[in-house]
Amino acid sequence: MAVDFKEFNRKMDKTIEVLQEDFGAIRTGRPNDRVLDLITVP
């Protein structure tokens, strides 16, 4: 049985990308301009 690691790697890369975006918005007491990335203006 062959395992498709390409699909696994693609999903893990997307997961890491989303986590980096989420962690970038965490306030740590220091100014961080990434907090503003989540704000949308209609």
pLDDT score recorded for residue 14: 95
> How many domains does the structure of the chain reveal?
1
Q: Where are the alpha helices (DSSP H) in 1-42?
A: 5-24
Q: What is the pTM of this model?
A: 0.54
Distances in whole angstroms, Cα of residue 31 to Cα of each of 25, 26, 36: 11, 11, 11
Give CA–CA dist 34/18, Å, rounded.
13
Question: What is each CA distance from 4 to 8, 10, 15, 17, 23, in whole angstroms?
Answer: 7, 11, 17, 21, 29
Domain residues for 14?
5-38
pLDDT score of 38: 74
* pLDDT for position 10: 94
Say what the pLDDT of residue 15 is: 95
pLDDT in tens, 1-42: 777 889 899 999 999 999 988 887 777 777 777 777 778 888
Mapping DSSP to helix (H, G, I), strand (E, B) and coil, where does residue 36 land?
A: helix
pLDDT of residue 26: 76
